[in-house]
Amino acid sequence: GAGVSQSPSNKVTEKGKDVELRCDPISGHTALYWYRQSLGQGLEFLIYFQGNSAPDKSGLPSDRFSAERTGGSVSTLTIQRTQQEDSAVYLCASSLRNFQGGGKTQYFGPGTRLLVL
């Protein structure tokens, strides 16, 4: 079946503008995760959804970052008033229902490369 898809694949924006990044998980995966990967860094966890609710949003770096998920499927990560330090690759992953077992395999999308000028 289809894997995790993300759009756009690349986004260039000007400082101060808002951006929306989209993630479409694998069908049947109720858990969805957003990560940020900056140059030379590992993966930084941002937020986790189980269904439409976000039990863990501890990784969102500031109140400029928000995310929502509707219909238990597609998720949108929104960054308001973008700053140059927001430039990074934003990765989305999905997994089967996560009972906080830590053992659910996450499957990743190709990422959105965001450049803030």
Partner 1 sequence: AQSVTQPDIHITVSEGASLELRCNYSYGATPYLFWYVQSPGQGLQLLLKYFSGDTLVQGIKGFEAEFKRSQSSFNLRKPSVHWSDAAEYFCAVGFSGYSTLTFGKGTMLLVSP
Listed in order, strand segments (DSSP E) in the chain are 5-7, 10-13, 19-24, 31-37, 43-50, 53-56, 65-69, 75-79, 88-95, 107-108, 112-116
Per rule CB under 8 A, is residue 43 in the interface with partner 1? yes
Per rule CB under 8 A, is residue 42 in the interface with partner 1? yes
Binding mask 68-107 for partner 1 (x = CB under 8 A): -----------------------x-x----x-xxxxxxxx
Half-sphere CA count of 51, side-chain side, radius 13 A: 3
Per rule CB under 8 A, is residue 56 in the interface with partner 1? yes
Q: Is 97 helix (H, G, I), strand (E, B) or coil?
A: coil
Q: Closer to partner 1 by CB, 10 or 15: give it.
A: 10
Provide the binding-site residues for partner 1, judged by CB under 8 A: 4, 6, 33, 35, 40-43, 45, 48, 50, 55-56, 91, 93, 98, 100-111
